A and B are shown apart, each in its own frame.
Chain A
Amino acid sequence: MSLIDLANPTRFLALSARVLPWLAAATVILLTIGLYQSASAPDDYQQGATVKIMFIHVPNAWLSMFVWGVMSLASLGTLVWRHPLADVAAKAAAPIGASFTFLALLTGSLWGRPMWGTYWEWDARLTSVLILFLMYLGLMALWRAVEDPSRAARAAAVLTLVGALNLPIIKFSVDWWNTLHQPASVMRMGGSTLDKAFLVPLLVMAVAFTLLFVTLHLAAMRNEILRRRVRSLQMMQASQKAA
Chain B
Amino acid sequence: MRLVVVGNGMAGARLVTEVRRRGRDTGIDVEVSVFEAEPCQPYNRVLLSNVLAGTAGPEQVRLLDPGWYAENGVRTHLGVRVLGIDRAARVVVAEDGTREPYDVLVLATGSEPVVPPIPGAERAMAFRTLDDCDRIRAAAGSARHAVVVGGGLLGVEAARGLAGLGLPVTLLHRAGHLMERQLDTEAGLVLRQTLAMVGVTVRTGVTVSAVDPGRVRLTDGAVTDADLVVFACGVRPVVRLAREAGLRVDRGVVVDDGLRTDDRSIFAIGECAQHAGTVYGLVAPAWEQAAVVADIVTGADRGARYRGSRVVTRLKATGVELAAMGETHLTDDQAEIVRFTHRRSGTYRKLVIRGERLVGAILLGETPTVGSLTQLFDRGGPLPGDRMGLLSPEPAAAGAASPALMPDSARVCRCNNVTKGRIRACWEAGARDLPAVVAATAATTGCGGCREAVDGIVGWLCEQEGVSV
Say whether A and B bind each other: no
Residues of A within 8 A of B (CB): none
Instruction: Report which B residues bind A (CB closer than 8 A).
Output: none
